[in-house]
Amino acid sequence: MIDGLKVAVVLPAYNADQTLERTFAEIPHDIVDEIVLVDDASTDRTALVAQRLGIHTIIHARNGGYGANQKTCYTVALAKGADIVVMLHPDYQYTPKLVTAMAGMIASGHYDAVFASRILGGGALSGGMPRYKYIANRLLTAFQNLLMGAKLSEYHTGYRAWSRRMLEQLPLLACSDDFVFDNQMIAQAMWSGFAIGEISCPTKYFPEASSINFRRSCIYGLGVLSTAFTYRLCRWGFVKSRLFAPESANLPRMASPVPTMTVAEPMPRVRAA
């Protein structure tokens, strides 16, 4: 716990058996109360590795997509009583050692969300981020800041911390089940006036780390632009969207958006070497 607040780390996983143990080893177990992994119908041994490590593991009966994975992650974390939820990719691209700092920023009461930015500190390219992804990241972020009236350094990190209050209020089931879920969630947070903070985070790109291909990256980019334009048009009152409708379904009142094949009870937790 931090300041009496229960901290959960959620791991949206797909074919992460080669990096999960390294990620788990660096999670600060002294302050983390719950670790939940959602396996989105992986074809490798991700679930087996997670169970061996003592991680509470949920397996989707079918591949629902990155957004659907996160919806299950947050539903389970809230059901377990988490006050602060940190979403960390299990591909070891981001350092888990920042969980304490990110959760602490939420616990301080100053922020409802904290993003670990690869752009702050200038370490993205030195960490191996492909140059075309770096350029696309900067351009998309500039357009989003312009359209959404914000000043974030990055909208595209996969390392984020959320307060329980925020997760309970956002209509996350209105968001996509695909990769653009992340951006839609940020747009919802801004729409509702939640306070967002950032922290500098080093990154590592290597063969085992997950990455979407160029075609999927283009689809994601178009989805990001669509989200930003929709946000601006809704602000001006020209259109309405389920993304920003308070009557849209919130996660705590809903079941998991993807059928789960099993809820694996964790074996006694062992620390990775």
pLDDT tens profile 23-67: 999 999 999 999 999 999 999 999 999 999 999 999 999 999 999
Between CA 64 and CA 76 the distance in angstroms is 16
pTM: 0.89
Q: What is the pLDDT of residue 271?
A: 44
- In a domain, residue 240? The reply is yes
Between CA 241 and CA 250 the distance in angstroms is 15
CATH of the domain at 45: 3.90.550.10
Torsions phi, psi for 131 (to 5 deg)? -60, -40
Helix (H) or strand (E) holding 67: helix 66-79
- In a domain, residue 231? The reply is yes
Instruction: Identify the band that residue 204 occupies on the pLDDT scale cut at 50, 70 and 90.
Output: confident
Q: Is the per-residue pLDDT at 249 higher than 70?
A: no
Are the C-beta atoms of 21 and 272 separated by less than 8 Å?
A: yes
Between CA 42 and CA 64 the distance in angstroms is 11
Q: What is the pLDDT of residue 23?
A: 96
Average the pLDDT over 103-131 and give the result: 89
Neighbouring C-beta atoms of residue 134, cutoff 10 Å:
14
- In a domain, residue 269? The reply is no
Between CA 69 and CA 60 the distance in angstroms is 8
Helix (H) or strand (E) holding 228: helix 214-236
Between CA 103 and CA 113 the distance in angstroms is 9
- In a domain, residue 1? The reply is no
Domain range holding 42? 7-264
Average the pLDDT over 62-86 and give the result: 95
Q: Of 163, 167, 161, which is closest to residue 251 (Cα–Cα)? A: 167
- In a domain, residue 11? The reply is yes
Between CA 265 and CA 54 the distance in angstroms is 8
- In a domain, residue 96? The reply is yes
Specify the higher pLDDT residue, 32 or 264: 32
- In a domain, residue 151? The reply is yes
Pull the structure tokens for residue 145: 């800041």
- In a domain, residue 2? The reply is no
Pull the structure tokens for residue 118: 């690869």
Q: Could you give the number of structural domains in the chain?
A: 1
> Using alpha carbons only, what angle is made at residue 192 by residues 189 and 198, rounded to the nearest 5 degrees?
35
Q: Answer positive or negative: Cα dihedral of 112, 55, 202, 137.
A: negative
